[in-house]
Chains A and B, each alone.
Chain A
Amino acid sequence: MKPLAEQDYYETLDVARSANLEDIERAYRLACDTYREDSLAGYPVFEVGDVELLRERIEIAYRILVDPETRRAYDHELSVQASEARAPVGTGAAPAAAGEIGELADARPAAHVLAPLDALDELEESEGEWTGARLRRARLRQGLELDDITKITKVNPTYLSFIEDERFDGLPAAVYVRGFVVGYAGCLGLDAKRVAASYLQRYEERKGGAKRRLFSRK
């Protein structure tokens, strides 16, 4: 890790040199989120200063890296710098003693920033039933809020949260619920038909159960 002023654009954005466009977009969104004025994660350290400078650098880094052409030019510049830095060391024996501390500190490149938590979810995918909670997990994993789903599906967010919480009493008839779930699952890139069938089964069972209880009480 280096002081901000010495970080290259990849380090500033916290992406690997091999990052693709999607990685860069995601890292940029995260950085904007983290270093905006009212950020929960950021505000305790902003008084330390430099946040303006940091925002500026993030913006520049993003603009350079997001454009394939400027990125190529920048990569070239970096590789020239790297070979120049290597040259005077010669055969490069005793690296620890010879190297500058700054270099040493930076032997580890900017990490896989959004070290995907996703890999962990694959196991869950094989499980059968689609519950409301599972839908919510799938949504959160993709970083989507309920409002984002509403924007796309036009389904009222209250209904969406009822679907997640499995508050079946608050939901309309099955045919509508099916439509909502198909839309919701589609938003998440899931197999909408399969998800809806599984969810509706739960819905029918519970509703059916409630009805039976209602009758038996009479």
Chain B
Amino acid sequence: MISGTREGPPSNGAPRLIPFGGGKGGVGKTFVAANLATTLAKAGHRVVAVDGDLEGANLHTALGVTRPRNSVAEYAAEREEDVRKLLEETPIANLRLISATRPNLANPQPSHALRVRFVRALRTLDADFVFIDLGAGADSTVMDYFMVCDDGVVVIAPEPTSVENAYAFMRAAFYRRLKLSMLSTDVRKVIALAMDERNERGIRTPLDLLREVKSLDTEEAHRFVEVMRAFRPRIIVNDVRTAEDIRLGFSVRSVCRKYFAIDAEYLGYVNHDAAARASVRARRPLVDSDPRSDAAVYLARIARKLIAPRIDSHMGATL
């Protein structure tokens, strides 16, 4: 289990925001996020779990909250301005929830400006960690939340559809991050062009793009490199059954480096475990209902790594 010492969150009081994405639905994002949040809460960290999936909210169910009283939907509809009022307790001590139930289906998503404000408000919460469980897809409503930090978590299942979507997801996140960081209009235009996979200029990888940017503007090229280096999504492979499934995480990491110039990190894997399904049915996080189960051991392992000070591959220094 996790030791009681607090090492992850910054001591100045601002919580660390960790988004969970991955592109494809059904790969276990919510299961993983809910269980990691519970693991940390049980180890004494103050955690807030936020459901970022307004059109398929179920984080509350995974955490055993039957009827959430509040919802992000209230914020989206601008009926509630104070994010703290959306918080509610869960059956787990130290773990609070912001659910996403009861959206206005006619217009479920908050505007971009509202999303930005929401994230800003999350940063002021009195907590050590804020987990954001994202919906499927890689559109801007999801990406805005994934962009809250450079090392968001990407959950993958060992199947082609999931791997494919995970690449698309990381690629989208990376280009979006780039576009937001560039100042020159011309450079932004080239990036927008590169985001179309079948662009005429034959820009296929970020390295091709870097060459283009370099020819336009050296200053921007330096910024580009910085963004490229800082963006380090972390991969979790869920529901593994074989050693080959486990190796998938390393392979994805290798492909990310070679084809997308993205320096992803393999955070760990969760073994396939019948107890996991049982816990979902029982609407209780597995690490709470069955902490000695196989998958729970893996989850505890990942949680430890998730909050450990990050070791930069070059400097060996901590963040």
Chain A interface (Cβ within 8 Å of chain B)?
A: 1-4, 14, 30-31, 33-34, 39-45, 48, 54, 96, 101, 104-105, 107-109, 111-115, 117, 120-121, 123-124, 133-134, 136-137, 139-140, 142-145
Contacts and interface: CB of A to CB of B under 8 A. Distances in A.
Contacts of B207: 1-3, 105
B271 interface: yes
B289 interface: no
Contacts of B305: 117, 120
Contact of A34 (B225, B228, B251, B314): B251
Interface of B: 158-160, 163-164, 167, 204-205, 207, 210, 214, 218, 221-222, 225, 228-229, 240, 242-244, 246-248, 250-255, 257-259, 261, 263, 265-266, 268-269, 271, 273, 293-294, 297-298, 301, 304-305, 312-314
A143 B243 contact: yes
Contacts of A114: 250
A124 B222 CA distance: 44
Contact of B255 (A3, A42, A101, A107): A42
A1 B228 contact: yes
Contacts of A48: 204-205, 259
A107 B251 CA distance: 23
Nearest to B267: A117
A39 B242 CA distance: 15
Q: From A33, A105, A108, A109, name the one whose CB has the most chain B CB atoms within 10 angstroms.
A: A105
Contacts, number: 122
A105 B160 CA distance: 31
B266 A117 contact: yes
Contacts of B246: 140, 143
17 contacts: A42-B251, A44-B164, A45-B167, A48-B259, A101-B218, A101-B221, A101-B222, A104-B225, A105-B228, A105-B229, A105-B261, A108-B229, A115-B265, A117-B305, A124-B301, A133-B271, A140-B242
B144 to A, nearest CB: 25
A3 B207 CA distance: 7
B163 A54 contact: no
B254 A113 contact: yes
B300 to A, nearest CB: 9
Contact of B294 (A40, A101, A115, A133): A133
